Structure 1
């Protein structure tokens, strides 16, 4: 069996459910091409049940014949599947609620009805789809017995993969391991975990699921998604490939470009401290850390930034020291005596406090250095 971990990107579906985010066709094509070129395993490309415009967009994406598996998202409703088939997409994901809360309070149906409906839709899907995934919505609140029953039923129906969703983002990694770690050994069909980030645990839960034997994880670029979003592609890919040494096809060196592209397409600025893609995540300002980095970057960097086409940088701020300032000034042909250096470092710290960020070299030279030798 292929032991690669499958990254299932849902930026074009769940990512577009981010409040205020909507992609044009040109943007969808650009995102699909960039992710495919970087080695993503699968793209969830939309929801055909939204209407004919969505069906047409998905049909155009399918016509690109990109070397990647594409899936549509569908409720366990035959009309949704018929819309998917009109799009020409060869893969479908069929979502069914499995918690008592959602079965009784949302669908107002019994567990037996859910099983029957899932069965009918899977059988219909298998007539026209090359790949069928069953998504178990709100799996994190389902009873253990019913969850296993649904999984075994889906397995007997011949689905290609089962997706378990922490729809409300309420699991902790330890609870996930306790509740779900036994499932992969109970089933022959591969499992996928779909994490939401309501409590800031999406990436941690996605990685934990892989460590528990799940073969696939849902991700979105930048962690886009409904409410607080989903597990971030860049975080999950780096942790799995670089830190855990898992087999992942995705080219980590493409992450920066892809994250920046999504930032432009969504008009959402990347936070400076955003893991992997943020401007400051490989920047050091404390004189203690800078000294350690100079001696050996591994002292203060979890992995070489070059792995994601970044590089570490030094910045001057409140916690910067004289050695760092002197090095910067000498590189620019500026030589100050001890008294001038002490005065300059005070100005650097004051300006950094006022600006609420590290200072750029030119700002230091223009605003802090008056006497030059």
Structure 2
């Protein structure tokens, strides 16, 4: 077993924003939203979209029919419980692909008054019918992370000759770590080398993306994601994180247009009323900002010094440095040149003193509001509570947020 072995197989990205993403508490997408989301995801190269839940009611079924009518190049999959009626409803929507989810852990089976015998019988009953109606049949093992490996083997053994297209292991409550994820997938892959495997991660302990990459290293041929990690409880593996981890960590291109990731992320943030956090990996507004004097000095020589990848690769411009409490003279000198303020040693000393002794807002205001700089550079007094409140919120503790602008990401939303 080689957990850091070279990644050498393809992988499909399965996006569940329209299914698991909308299951996030309080999130509702209109039919128009769903159509736009499906089109955008297909346009950037997502291989498969989970477009909804068969048993969620007439409105959900109507939305799924409309999405299917778009004729998108991505595979469109309907999520079903392991009951015959769900399979029939998915077929009635015109779907060509289905995912059937079986609870497999003792805790879930007991909560639903079922047992392992029921699982095996439902597989024998439902899979032939599903294969009759659908071109692509995926079987999910819900709560696989709390299921005995021996029972997972029994299920896989039953499924391997059934003609299904994929078996998907779900870390439903997000309790796996990357090592356990890798070991589990590696064991199953070695026992059943011809069985296509997928992975569905949850982020309850903050390890969804890491676990997803571990599953891929161990042989998973498809992985589930949602935009921004939107989903139940703490969410899922984030599409933008997994895609960029594929590129940076696994050094493989999974076929997604990374130039669209930033706009997509913030657009979904608006539609879901879940704004992208300032420091969210990949697409947060603050993830390419540098304040530390040591970092900035190195970045001026080579922008790769303190960045894992270039911001341009995800469709965003290179950020200016932030002038703040930890800034050094090198950053100040560069910023003053950009502001058109003549660089003079005494002025640099004064500015360093200013930003180091006003850590509760003025430093960020200078760094993100260049038109303030000439006045500050000339020694003009600035009252911190009055710093351009139409553009910035300046709060205690150096917390800084830029106000959203009307019409932001409007082009993507249309």
- Is the Cα–Cα contact under 8 Å of residues 3 and 247 in structure 1 kept in the other structure? no
1:249 has 2:255 as partner: yes
**What is the rounded CA distance, in whole Å, between the counterparts of 1:157 and 1:253 in structure 2?**
40
Q: 1:160 aligns with which of 165, 171, 187?
A: 165
Residue 100 (structure 1) shift: 1.4
Residues 5 and 247, structure 1, Cα contact 8 Å, conserved in 2: no
Structure 1 or 2: larger helix share?
1
Tell me the CA shift for residue 355 of structure 1: 6.1
Q: 1:150 aligns with which of 149, 155, 159?
A: 155
After TM superposition, the structure 1 = structure 2 runs for residues 138-287 of structure 1, keeping only pairs within 5 Å, are 138-187=143-192, 188-287=194-293
Q: In 2, Cα distance between the equivalents of 1:25 and 1:131?
A: 25
Partner of 2:376: 368
The partner residue of 2:118 within 113, 118, 139 is: 113
Per-residue deviation, 1:351: 4.3
Q: Is the 8 A contact 2:278 2:284 kept in 1?
A: yes
CA deviation map 1:288-317 (0-9, x unaligned): 111111111221111222221234321111
CA deviation map 1:127-180 (0-9, x unaligned): 111110000000011111100111121222211000100001000111222333
The correspondence for 1:348, drawn from 345, 355, 380, is 355
Per-residue deviation, 1:247: 4.0
Cα distance between partner residues in 2 of 1:366 and 1:296: 28
Structure 2 residue aligned with 1:19: 25
The 5 Å alignment of 1:19-168 reads 19-104=25-110, 106-168=111-173
Give the CA deviation at 1:326: 2.2
Give me the TM-score of the superposition, normalised by structure 1: 0.94
Contact 1:138 1:165 in 2 (8 A): yes
Paired with 2:256 and 2:343, the residues of 1 have a C-alpha distance of: 49
* 1:252-284 Cα shifts (integer Å, max 9, x gaps): 111111111101111221111111101111111
Deviation at 1:337, TM superposition (A): 3.8
Tell me how far apart the structure 2 counterparts of residues 349 and 12 of structure 1 sit (CA, whole Å).
Answer: 47
Separation (CA, whole Å) in 2 of partners of 1:231 and 1:125 = 28
CA distances 1:37-66 after superposition (whole Å, capped 9, x unpaired) = 100000000002011111111000000001
- Tell me, in whole angstroms, the C-alpha distance in 2 between the residues paired with 1:302 and 1:246: 15
Structure 1 residues without counterparts, runs of 5 or longer: none
Which of 92-101 and 363-372 deviates more?
A: 363-372
Change (3 A) 1:144 1:269: same
Counterpart CA distance in 2 for 1:132 and 1:151 is: 14
Question: Aligned-pair distance for 1:119?
Answer: 2.2
Trace 1:293-372 onto structure 2 (pairs within 5 A).
Answer: 293-313=299-319, 314-335=321-342, 337-354=344-361, 357=364, 359-362=367-370, 364-365=372-373, 368-371=376-379
- 1:291 alignment counterpart: 297
How big is the shift at 1:251?
Answer: 1.2
The runs of at least 4 aligned residues of structure 1 exceeding 6 Å deviation read none
